[in-house]
Structure 1
Amino acid sequence: MTQFLKCATLALLAAAAPATAFAQTLGFATLQPGAINHVQAQIISKVVQTATGMQVRVLPMRGTAAVLSAVHSKHAEFSVGTASHMTTAVLGTHDFKGRAKVNLRVAFTALAFPIGIMVRNNSSIKTVADMKGRRFPTGWKAFPNGIPLANGVLAAAGLSLADMESVPTSGLIPAANDFKVGKNDGTTFAVGAPKVAEINAAIKGGLRFLSMDNSPAALARVKKVRPDYFIMTLKPNPRFAGILGPTNVLGVNLVITAGAHVSNDTMYKFVKAVAENKAALAKGHPSFNGFFPDKRMAKQYSSVRYHPGSIKYFKEKGIWPGK
């Protein structure tokens, strides 16, 4: 009888325990603190946890290659990054040559993401063309996506990293720290990132993002770097440190990537939670004001596939334009 009561008690306790205590923890790989992707991953994770009860843990990593590799190898379920970099990973080209990450899927397209070259506001560098021969980060071993992003901005002025005075760097945050202490004359970074605000407050006179030429010829040069790059115009905004007037910057499509190992049900719940909670996302970070839960989150790409769980949600909402 005593044994029966013990078993019954354990059964009741198990039934009363929160479901999340037994839930799988989902890993969300992203860049280190200071990068805007890290903030965005935190906000998305919080929204998904609140809406679904699924546990999502943010996993900071050294660079974009490590982020995508973690998802491909099932050490994480999700990541955030550019569509163009995901494409090179899936196809095994550029910095992923011979190391194709075929297990990557698109969860959804988040927003158009602005990237620019920041310089000191009191610098004599006024245009992207003025960067020629200046000290600029190169190497980017831990953040290989830094190479096409920098070349994308420079291409508007007919330049590339080959035209710069090389200052070797390992990644995004180290390059920004070098800029902060004067070791380089400029560096690429996402507009609106926490690190940009930090540097703007720390250096005398603040910083300024260079405006790109947005002529058809300039855009054609940019697209030779990556076909899905574009040019977008930003206006001064309290959250955009360094945007002192209308400024043309590099636009990239930011996507949330998922592993093929993520179940359809988990993926469906994840996308549904994000799509139906834009207000909570934007409250967490204003960049999500640029997220639109319509056909834009199901934007089609030529070389990467959406996860079946995402497609199920898109079809239910009538926003799936794909085949």
Structure 2
Amino acid sequence: MKKKIISLSLGLLMVLVCGVPLTGWGQGTTAPLSFGTASVGSSNYIITVGMANILTKNGGINVTAEAVGGADANVRALRDKKIDMAMLNSDSVTNAFQGTEQFAKAGKLGLRILVQGQERYNYIIFRKASGIKTPADLRGKKFIGRRRALGDIEKVTTAMLNAYNVPKDSVRILETAETNEALEALKTGAVDGACLPGGQRASNLMDLANNADVFFNSFPDDKLDLMLKEIGIPFLKGAVPPGTYKGQTEPIQTTMLLLGVSVRPDFQEETAYKVTKTLMESQKELAAVHNVGKEWTMGNTLKKPPAPFHPGAIKYFKEKGVWTPVLDQAQQELLKMGP
């Protein structure tokens, strides 16, 4: 608080002495931009902190990362103007922008995308002592498969049970508030399994694999196809390479979403341009922050956007010569769908 007061005082002094106007980065304020993200320790959190540092250092934009929770919680924080930017998965963006599913009651939210990139997996993890070999063995077991702040957890859990013909009421499905709570339950044996979000080599999941007797479930193609048919777009088929986690000798096949940086439509255009430009031109630094940083590419950014791009981002894409008639058509169609 003291730091904020000092910053404001210096700004006012510039106005009085030099006649320099106060200009905000995002919403007409001198305060740092607040960048909402997932739980501390997750790959999402680590890469968001890295992005905030890169934007501050390379882009001249004062940004601070804030651990809000799951993507749905970040959507609500963005809607309520508690944060300026948010790290969101493509499922939450789709539903918030269209006002469907978990956001049906709240209605459509005019989200705009700056960049996309990171692959975020839905890991299915079982304790070896549970006796579970595949999801078909979940009857009578305790499984963490619900989280208010992350609606895709329950979607994937339900689709998994349906794919294996396991009645939902035969499994004790538990809810946690955030990932660290679920990790602790797995470590202590309070549950038999869980559906957890994460990127490749997520530090909290690596810690779990290194210090608890668990294994990561890999879905065969037929089961994964059934799940994807049920949950639909924007879910994709993902494969985590062998050797990513302790004891993992084969790829982990599971569902995945793309992560992206989203803002409200009233986010300042010039700032949106600077954020997009800085992140797209700092890939080596992002990769140095975390292995998933290499996934924040122009190719992934332009891949199947679940909401319209911000005009500031489009300005940068046009400058780089990558904005095509196909992308423009998709943009116009998306604009018709949302507020």
Q: Evaluate the alpha carbon distance shift between residue 159 and residue 51 of structure 1 in structure 2; reply closer, same or farther with a 3 A threshold.
A: farther
Q: Are 2:268 and 1:255 equivalent residues in the alignment?
A: no
The aligned counterpart of 1:81 is: 88
- 1:192-203 to 2 correspondence within 5 Å? 192-203=201-212
Q: Are 2:291 and 1:282 equivalent residues in the alignment?
A: no
Deviation at 1:121, TM superposition (A): 4.4
- 1:11-26 to 2 correspondence within 5 Å? 11=17, 24-26=31-33
The aligned counterpart of 2:47 is: 40
With structure 2 as the length reference, what TM-score do the two structures score? Answer: 0.80
The runs of 5 or more residues in structure 2 that have no matched partner are 1-12, 329-339
Q: Evaluate the alpha carbon distance shift between residue 115 and residue 160 of structure 1 in structure 2; reply closer, same or farther with a 3 A threshold.
A: farther
How far apart, in 1, do the equivalents of 2:166 and 2:295 lie?
30
Q: 1:312 aligns with which of 312, 315, 320?
A: 315
With structure 1 as the length reference, what TM-score do the two structures score? Answer: 0.83
Tell me the SS of whatever aligns to 1:237: coil
Among the aligned pairs, what percent are the same residue? 22
How far apart, in 1, do the equivalents of 2:168 and 2:247 lie?
22
Q: Are 2:231 and 1:228 equivalent residues in the alignment?
A: no
Residues 45, 57 of structure 1: 8 Å contact kept: yes
Tell me the SS of whatever aligns to 1:107: strand
Tell me the SS of whatever aligns to 1:33: coil
- 1:1-323 to 2 correspondence within 5 Å? 11=17, 24-121=31-128, 123-154=130-161, 156-159=163-166, 161-189=168-196, 190=198, 191-203=200-212, 206-215=213-222, 218-238=224-244, 240-241=245-246, 243-294=248-299, 296-301=300-305, 304-321=307-324, 322-323=327-328
Amino acid at match of 2:249: L
Residues 69, 101 of structure 1: 8 Å contact kept: no
How far apart, in 2, do the equivalents of 1:76 and 1:297 lie?
22
How far apart, in 2, do the equivalents of 1:124 and 1:298 lie?
43
Question: Runs in 1 of length 4+ with deviation above 6 angstroms?
Answer: none
Residues 232, 250 of structure 1: 8 Å contact kept: yes
Q: Evaluate the alpha carbon distance shift between residue 121 and residue 46 of structure 1 in structure 2; reply closer, same or farther with a 3 A threshold.
A: farther
Moved more, 246-255 or 117-126: 117-126
Superposition RMSD on alpha carbons, in Å? 2.8
The runs of 5 or more residues in structure 1 that have no matched partner are 1-6
How far apart, in 1, do the equivalents of 2:174 and 2:309 lie?
38
**How many residues are treated as equivalent by the alignment?**
305
